[in-house]
Each structure stands twice: as structure tokens, then as C-alpha cells.
Structure 1
Amino acid sequence: MRNKQLFAVLAAAVLSAAVLSGCSSKDKETSKKETTTLTISAAASLTDVTKDIAKKYKEKEPHVKLNFSYGSSGALQTQIEEGAEVDIFMSAAQKQMDALSKKNLVNKKSRVELLENKLVLIVPKDSKTSIKSFEDLAKSSVKKVALGEPKAVPVGQYSEGVFQKLGILDKIKEKANYGSDVRQVLTWVESGEVDCGVVYMTDAKISDKITVVCEAPKKAADPVIYPVAVLQDSKHKDEAQKFVDYLKTDEILKLFESYGFQRVK
């Protein structure tokens, strides 16, 4: 009888150990999944919407952490070229993505032209200015114009393209204050440090301290396209591609649209 009882106790102990071992293995697997971090270099104009996307993705993929690094697309491009460990690049212009692609730093198959934005002219909310159009910025009454630095900041490149086509670029350069990214341009206009500035529609939508004067004239404005791609040296290519695919879903594209972006047609 005692032998039977002893056998039962031993059997229970073995079964318990097996269950605990199984749980331990699962816990280890879960722990490993939780350590997966995707580093994403994203244009400054994507700051607000990507914070919302990160919250949604955490619910969908709790074992993946999204670490966003924001800045001008040109500065982010330079960081990647200098060896920064990045999994995904979300640029505000094709120029920077093209440059990385030529150096084989991005996975070309993963690239997608994800979004479109609009260029707008803004003034401080309480401004008494008579500015009504991009052409008005050439007038002597306009003293300070905030623009993105054209060598590294896409919004500055797009802006200069508009002024070039309108034939007033030289006059604008004389009164330009150049910001390190589009958010700095927005801040200068909000504070009234400048008469006006050129930002993206999405940046203008998040501020109640400015007034949108108009969109850039279609005859002079190039399409503002946002490409996204997985980096060639990403250590988490599968997870990175999965996130890029997630950005293309109807749910997330609608979220982008709520912030003022448009789907690429």
C-alpha cells in the first residue's frame, strides 16, 4: 500500500515538474519575444501620428517594441550612412531614400511610397499681415520667412522648388530663416518670431496658434511623397517587414488620413 502511495506521490511530482518546465520554457520564449526592438528613423512630420501607431501596434504585437528616432530626413539619412543601427527608415521625401538605395543601404523590395502630404503657407494666428499667397512673400512688407534648411530638410527643398518655379527664389533667400526641421519652422511661426513660414499640411493641423493662408500652387509644387523601407543591415528583417506591411493596412492608412496625410494614388 505504501509503495502505491509512494509511486503516486512520485508520479505527481514528475507531472508537476513537467508542467512547470513547460511553463518555464514558454516564459523564456515570451521573454525572448519581448526583447525584440525595432529602431525606426522617421521624419519629424510623422511624430504625432506614429505615436498613435505605436500604441496600436503594442496591442497587436506586444512582444515588439517600437523605438522611434525623429529628425529631418537629411539628418536621418546621414546617420544611417554613418552606421547607425536602424531597422526602418520613414522619409519625408524620395531624395533621401533614393540616396540610401543607391548605396545599397535599404532593402529595395521592401520599399513602398506610403503617403502624400501638402505644402502650405502659414502665419501666426493673430497676424495682421496682408499675405494671401506664396507670391506675396516677395513683397518688401514681408521681412522674415521661416523655411526648412534646404540641404537636409525636405520641406525646405520642396519650398525652394516652389519659389524657383514662381521666379522669386532669390528674393525669398534674402529674408529666409532656416530651421533644422519642419517642427522648428512651425514653432517660429507660432511664436511670431517670423512673418510666415512654409510647413506641411499635417504640421499645420496640429497647431491652434497659426492660420493656414493657402496651399502651394499646383503649377509650382512637386508631389510630397513619403517612402518607407527596411534597412539592409537590419537585425530584425522579418519583424521590420511585418511592421511596414502593417503601415499599409486600411486601418492605419485611415489613421494617417485623420492627421492630414493622403494615400498615394
Structure 2
Amino acid sequence: MHNKRILAFLSWVFVSLILVVGCNQTKTPNLSSSPASQTTNLTISAAASLKDAMDEIKPLYSKEKPNVNLTYNFGSSGTLQQQIEQGAGIDIFISAATKQIKALQQKGLLLDGTTKDLLTNQMVLIAPQNSTVVTDFKDLISSRVKKIALGEPKSVPAGQYAEQVLTSLKIADKIKSKVVYAKDVRQALNYVESGNADAGIVYLSDAKSTQKVKIVTTAPEKTHSPVVYPIAILKSSKNVDAAKGFVQFLSGNQAKNIFEKQGFTLAGS
């Protein structure tokens, strides 16, 4: 009888051990597979002039990093700066001028060591595709030119560069009454595309994005500050490693080909 009790106790211990081991083996795969299935969300605020290029880059990056979801927020650099200052949940900021980046840096909102120049661009004079009125900047003075589209210089870097060009060429005061200000450079482009403006000054990349306008001439580099697009990661980002990975991708060959096709040049190249 004593032996039977011992055997029964040993059987109970053996079965318990099997159950414990079995439970642990069932749980382990779930724990190890969980990180691989997690999705990281990155929000990128970028100057409006980058829209076409960034939209083309998105699917390429998704193939390389399927677990990273990119969300874009486009607008004028000044407006995007204000959104960040007001606490918008942004991971990466790409401005169309250094002014906005410097302002955020001074307020301690950017992650140290992540600010760099990403791209450069050019300023061009555009007109509707079928226009014969404008052949050079000096034609903007003509009475035949009624409206000239520029970005709002207080918040749109393209507008600031355009004003520099017009001032340098000594025609800013002469065409002041004709200027129609746009909320961002894409709206300035749209004014010319639709024929609501006889001419406009935009980035080369914007002019190349449509067949509805023609590039009349390129503004001499000496007439305006260098058009530089700096990039930085926000100190408040909760996905710094993923953000650094995307910034690195934007400097790689795949992104470079897209940027150059759109009219940009990688800074330093």
C-alpha cells in the first residue's frame, strides 16, 4: 500500500512538470515574435515644395522598412515651425530655409547632432505654358503683366527668396502692386498654372512638377541667399532610431535619384 502511494505521488509530480514545461513552451513564441510585428509611426513635417519627391520616396522606403509607417505633413516652413512650437507630434522636420530650423534650435526643440543640410534648389521665373508676354524678369514691369504670384515672405521661404531676387534686380518697388501672395509655394505655382497670374517665382522643383507652366529663366545665384533645405529630428520624438534611419535613407542613392529628377540637388554633391 505504501509503495502505491509513492508511485501515485511520483506520477503527480511528473505530470505537473510536463504541464509547467508545456505552458512555458507555448508562451515563448509569442514573446519573441511580438517585437517583429510592431509598427513604428514616423511623422514628417516637410516644406510644400517637397511633396512630389517625398510621395515618390514613401513606397520605396516601405519596401525596405515595412514596419515603419510614414505620415507626411506638408505646408509652408513658417507654418510648420509654428506647429512644432505649439507641440505638434512631429519626428522629423525638413524646412525650405535655415531660418526656421535655427529658430527651433534656439528654443531647444531639436535633437542635438541631428541637424544637417539635405538639399539645395534654384529659383525660377515661370509663366503659363502658352504665354508670350514674359521672357525675362524685366518684363514683369510691363503693363501687360497684371498679376505676379509669390509666396507670402513672412512664412514662405520661396517668397523670401523671390523678394531678394526682385530687390537685387531693382524691380521690387515697380511691381509691388501686381503681387499676389500665396500661403505656400505650391499655391503660387497653382496661380500661374490656372492663368490667375501672368507670372510667378517658384523653386525649380515646383516648375518641373507640371506641364502647365514654362520656365522663363533661372534667377542668378548672386541675387538671393542659397536655397538650402535643412533636416532635423525633434527632441520630443519617441522614435529616434527609426527617425535616424529615415534621414539616412533620404541621403542615399535611391532618394537621390528621385530628388534630382524633381529638380533638387543633394547638399554637398
TM > 0.5 fold call = yes
Partner residue in 2 for 1:26 = 32
Deviation at 1:101, TM superposition (A): 1.1
Amino acid of the residue matched to residue 130 of structure 2? D
CA distance in 2, matches of 1:263, 1:27: 38
CA distance in 2, matches of 1:251, 1:15: 49
Deviation at 1:187, TM superposition (A): 0.9
- Structure 2 counterparts to residues 106-121 of structure 1, below 5 A: 106-121=110-125
Q: Which whole-Å deviations, capped at 9, do the CAs of 1:57-115 have from their partners, x for residues lacking one?
A: 11111111111100000100011111111111000111111111111111241011010
CA distance in 1, matches of 2:110, 2:121: 23
Residues 146/112 of structure 1: CA separation in 2 closer, same or farther (3 Å cut): same
CA distance in 2, matches of 1:50, 1:231: 19
- Structure 2 counterparts to residues 183-194 of structure 1, below 5 A: 183-194=186-197
Partner residue in 1 for 2:67 = 63
Q: Which whole-Å deviations, capped at 9, do the CAs of 1:191-236 have from their partners, x for residues lacking one?
A: 1011011111111111011111011123313211000000111121
Structure 2: which 5+ runs fail to align? 1-13
Partner residue in 2 for 1:263 = 266
Residues 55/19 of structure 1: CA separation in 2 closer, same or farther (3 Å cut): farther
CA distance in 1, matches of 2:192, 2:145: 13
Structure 1: which 5+ runs fail to align? 1-6
Partner residue in 2 for 1:147 = 150
Within the candidate set 174, 177, 183, 1:174 is matched to 177
Partner residue in 1 for 2:247 = 244
TM-score (norm 2): 0.88
Amino acid of the residue matched to residue 162 of structure 2? S
CA distance in 2, matches of 1:213, 1:19: 71
- 3-state SS in 1 of match to 2:125: strand
Say whether residues 1:87 and 2:91 are aligned partners.
yes
CA distance in 1, matches of 2:136, 2:21: 78
How large is the Cα RMSD of the aligned pairs?
2.1
Deviation at 1:21, TM superposition (A): 2.5
CA distance in 1, matches of 2:211, 2:22: 62
Counterpart contact for 2:153–2:163, Cα < 8 Å: yes
Identity among equivalent positions (%) equals 46
Structure with larger Rg:
2
Deviation at 1:16, TM superposition (A): 6.8
Deviation at 1:135, TM superposition (A): 2.4
Amino acid of the residue matched to residue 256 of structure 2? L
- Structure 2 counterparts to residues 94-133 of structure 1, below 5 A: 94-129=98-133, 131-133=134-136
CA distance in 1, matches of 2:128, 2:24: 68
CA distance in 1, matches of 2:174, 2:22: 81
Amino acid of the residue matched to residue 213 of structure 2? I
The answer to which of 228-237 and 241-250 deviates more is: 241-250
CA distance in 1, matches of 2:82, 2:95: 12
Say whether residues 1:218 and 2:224 are aligned partners.
no
